[in-house]
Amino acid sequence: MKNHRKERAQAREKAKKLVAQMTLMEKAAQLRYDAAPVERLGVPTYNYWNEALHGVARAGVATMFPQAIGMAAAFDEEAMERVGDIIATEGRAKYNEYSKHDDRDIYKGLTFWSPNVNIFRDPRWGRGHETYGEDPYLTSRLGVRFVEGLQGDGPVMKAAACAKHYAVHSGPEAIRHEFNAECSMKDMWETYLPAFEALVTEADVEAVMGAYNRTNGEPCCGHQYLMEEVLRGKWKFDGHFTSDCWAIKDFHEFHKVTKNARESAALALKRGCDVNCGNTYLHLLGAVEEGLITEEEITTSAERLMTTRYLLGLFEGSEYDKIPYEVVECKEHIEAALDMARKGSVLLKNDGVLPLDKTKLQTIGVIGPNANSRAALIGNYHGTSSRYITVLEGIQDEVGDDVRVLYSEGCQLAKDRAENLAWTQDRISEAVITAEHSDVVILCVGLDETLEGEEGDTGNSDASGDKKDLHLPKVQEELIERVTAVGKPTILVLMAGSAIDLNYAEENCSGILLAWYPGARGGKAVADLLFGKVSPSGKLPVTFYKDLEGMPEFTDYSMKNRTYRYMEGEALYPFGYGLTYGAVRVKEVQVLNAVTGESDIEVQVAVENRGGTDTEDVVQIYIKDMESPLAVRNYNLCAFHRVFLKAGESQTLTLTVPNRAMEVVDEQGNRHIDSKNFKLFVGVSQPDKRSEELTGEKTVEVTVTLE
């Protein structure tokens, strides 16, 4: 299905014939997310709104993968495609049964509003954990493969993916309905658009969702430049466009670019928004009467939507109708989710305390508000699991009766006491006692979807899901200080979806493992890593900053001093960083081809694992333009590959750096190659000084001169 021009042309013809038989009212009723049935034509009701960020969401039981940011940390394209395929398989299985029972409710269709390929440009954004991180190249590669997995490559589309939220969208949540993101054309084409471009032009994504905000003055769901010139013009997008939910009513209520609902409906439709998630399109007929839009414009959108339904085989059946319900949360899918959690967890610090040897331990203290929390496993936009394994349970299962496990919640996630009538921090002395009676402490802190997430969905209503700063809640910071003061070897397990201030933990903990929101059975994956059944191998898809010093205002969309590509200071933990129990390094690098302005760069990389432990690791290549004043301040990730190496093993890999990596973007947003001299940095991290300090390894540098 990757490039299905022929299938699309056939589906479009069928859609035209079908829509031609509909009345104006019937056509208009197809443009709502909850499309009305046309019984006389055999068209059942259909709800376009479904979610699948990290597993089929909000419609009962499904395999739950780690949150998107945790999957991104695996830096694994093949695994992302597999995740997309599993989601589509389970989505089909559920759809097949639901439709047999005539259940065509919300979250039960085959049009999944995933992935979220916005760039996580600011660590305060509450929804950043829904993305694949801060880098446009990594986001593009993972997003493309996720979409390809979801949509499949058969003549019928397995499920329809949707690239969201188009475009220039990453907070603040509290003002997203009236906010205008001002963005230079350079930043737009260098940072905010590449992932959307890749999903449309490479993965043939079936749908695109517009964002709530305005960008450079125009609302994103009615944007002449983004929707007409770029999406359908430059990129030749031929799928359907959907609004974010109730975004079209923002046109007149908050953005004030239209006077009323009719004008808003007309503006969105004219720009090419086919599905209204919301109810503003109830005014389409009134807009036709007023002469604001024509029936033809409604017809075009209805045809696009019916084309999607034909491509999905919803009218004529397909091989996917045979997918049985038994595949939902089957053993193989659960194992794939566990594998993703193991690969995506990032080891940030290890003074030698890890992996734990249970034969040498009598008592383990497991402490912290996220130690036994199911909420910390699941992220947001999640399904339901038939079983959850918290970190505490994972550790208990792993050690069995051989080692005593003591547990204390230590503190609440953010509240200052567990019992309403108690003193503040009423669980902290129990935490200290637990540490005193343990040989080693696993301290589980962090956030969950009640503290970082989407406006309206979270418990921290004062910040609408965004973070005010990089600190953990004060009660947790006090807990870390009190527990580490006991002096036992302490391993911090952080469950969060974004950069957190870990300066104190870096100084005072023996080990730090970032588990993200690892999915329903994530506690088992964490235990597997802590006890060395598997070596950690995840890499940070975002920068963990020391602090917010010098970072622009949250509302400022310029990329100055943001993310590893533009930052001026030193990170606490850099993008691309993550330790293993092995010792993988790049030995030598060779450019295999004569590089020209038209060619890619073929790079041969020899890697070895000098350590005593088998491990996976991620070879990363960064490129720096040595001449052009238009180049990004630092360098760009331009290739990566996950590799498994046994202890002492060497391998030779060939990686391709795409031609586009040599391009720069000018102030007008045009891309071109502007230089003949480039440097490649090849290693298992980026080439910054801090990564060298943390890993003890330097990247290998190679000069590339264009012929």
User: In the prediction, which pLDDT does 16 show?
Assistant: 98
Residue 477, classified by CB atoms within 10 Å of its CB into exposed (0-12), middle (13-18) or buried (19+), is: middle
* DSSP designation for 327: G
Catalytic-role residue among 244, 303, 393, 455: 244
User: In the prediction, which pLDDT does 464 show?
Assistant: 84
What are the start-end ranges of the H helices in 152-232? 185-187, 194-201
* DSSP designation for 519: -
Tokens 């929707």 -> residue:
227
Q: Say if residues 475 and 411 touch (Cβ distance below 8 Å).
A: yes
Tokens 């700063």 -> residue:
469
Annotation marks residue 122 as catalytic: no
The pLDDT tens digits for 513-525 are 999 999 999 999 9
> Token pair of 254, please?
């908050």
Catalytic-role residue among 77, 452, 501, 688: 452
Whether a cis peptide bond, with omega within 30° of 0, leads into 355 is yes
In this prediction, residue 129 has a pLDDT band, given cuts at 50, 70 and 90, of very high
Annotation marks residue 688 as catalytic: no
User: Between vectors from CA 165 to CA 67 and to CA 672, what angle results, nearest 5°?
Assistant: 105
Q: How far apart are CA 385 and CA 436, in angstroms?
A: 36
User: In the prediction, which pLDDT does 3 show?
Assistant: 55
Q: How far apart are CA 122 and CA 134, in angstroms?
A: 8
The continuous run of DSSP H or E covering 682 comes out as strand 677-683
Q: How far apart are CA 502 and CA 508, in angstroms?
A: 10
pTM of the model: 0.98
Among 563, 707, 706, smallest CA distance to 627 is for 706
User: In the prediction, which pLDDT does 4 show?
Assistant: 74
User: Which phi and psi angles does 94 have, rounded to 5°?
Assistant: -70, -45
> Token pair of 173, please?
């949540």
Q: Count CB neighbours of 459 within 10 A.
A: 13
Buried b (16+ CB within 10 A) or exposed e, 280-295: bbebbbebbeeebbee
Among 692, 611, 690, smallest CA distance to 648 is for 611
Residue type, 187: D
* DSSP designation for 356: -
Q: Mutual orientation of helices 136-151 and 194-201 as an angle, nearest 10°?
A: 30
The pLDDT tens digits for 62-121 are 999 999 999 999 999 999 999 999 999 999 999 999 999 999 999 999 999 999 999 999
Among 485, 610, 605, 637, smallest CA distance to 139 is for 637
Residue type, 653: L
Q: How far apart are CA 8 and CA 3, in angstroms?
A: 9
> Token pair of 114, please?
């995933």
The pLDDT tens digits for 563-606 are 999 999 999 999 999 999 999 999 999 999 999 999 999 999 99
Candidate from 8-17, 448-457, 590-599, 685-694 with smallest mean pLDDT: 448-457
Query: 514 by DSSP, 3-state: which?
Result: strand
Q: How far apart are CA 590 and CA 603, in angstroms?
A: 6
Q: Does pLDDT of 182 surpass 70?
A: yes
Among 68, 705, 677, smallest CA distance to 341 is for 68
Mean pLDDT, rounded, for 333-346: 98
Q: How far apart are CA 433 and CA 202, in angstroms?
A: 57
Q: Is the dihedral of CA 199, 205, 211, 216 positive or negative?
A: positive
Residue 454, classified by CB atoms within 10 Å of its CB into exposed (0-12), middle (13-18) or buried (19+), is: middle
The pLDDT tens digits for 349-389 are 999 999 999 999 999 999 999 999 999 999 999 999 999 99
Query: HSE on the CB side for 432, CA within 13 Å?
Result: 11
The pLDDT tens digits for 460-514 are 666 789 999 999 999 999 999 999 999 999 999 999 999 999 999 999 999 999 9
The pLDDT tens digits for 539-561 are 999 999 999 999 999 999 999 99
Residue type, 243: S
- Domain boundaries of the chain, sorted by first residue: 5-320, 331-542, 584-705
Among 186, 253, 245, smallest CA distance to 48 is for 245
> Token pair of 460, please?
């921290």
User: Which phi and psi angles does 35 have, rounded to 5°?
Assistant: -65, 135
Question: Which residues share a beta bridge with 639?
Answer: 621
Mean pLDDT, rounded, for 38-62: 98
The pLDDT tens digits for 285-331 are 999 999 999 999 999 999 999 999 999 999 999 999 999 999 999 99
Mean pLDDT, rounded, for 272-284: 98
What are the start-end ranges of the H helices in 21-127? 24-28, 68-72, 77-100
Tokens 């035209």 -> residue:
16
The pLDDT tens digits for 440-474 are 999 999 999 999 999 887 766 667 899 999 999 99
Q: Which CATH number fits domain 331-542: 3.40.50.1700, 3.10.310.10, 1.10.10.10, 3.40.630.30?
A: 3.40.50.1700
> Token pair of 112, please?
């999944």
User: In the prediction, which pLDDT does 456 show?
Assistant: 80
Question: Which residues share a beta bridge with 96?
Answer: none
Give the rounded percent of residues in the chain with a pLDDT score beyond 90: 98
| Top-tier CATH class for 5-320 | alpha beta
Question: Which residues share a beta bridge with 654?
Answer: 604
Across the chain, what does the average pLDDT equal? 97
Q: How far apart are CA 477 and CA 479, in angstroms?
A: 5
Beta strands in 447-583 (DSSP E): 490-495, 511-514
* DSSP designation for 416: S
Q: Does pLDDT of 55 surpass 80?
A: yes
Number of H helices, E strands in the chain: 20, 23
Q: Mutual orientation of helices 428-436 and 474-485 as an angle, nearest 10°?
A: 30
User: In the prediction, which pLDDT does 461 show?
Assistant: 61
Q: Say if residues 368 and 410 touch (Cβ distance below 8 Å).
A: yes
Q: How far apart are CA 48 and CA 32, in angstroms?
A: 8
CATH code of domain 584-705: 2.60.40.10
User: In the prediction, which pLDDT does 455 show?
Assistant: 87
Q: Say if residues 588 and 638 touch (Cβ distance below 8 Å).
A: no
Q: Does pLDDT of 147 surpass 70?
A: yes
* DSSP designation for 234: I
User: In the prediction, which pLDDT does 136 show?
Assistant: 98
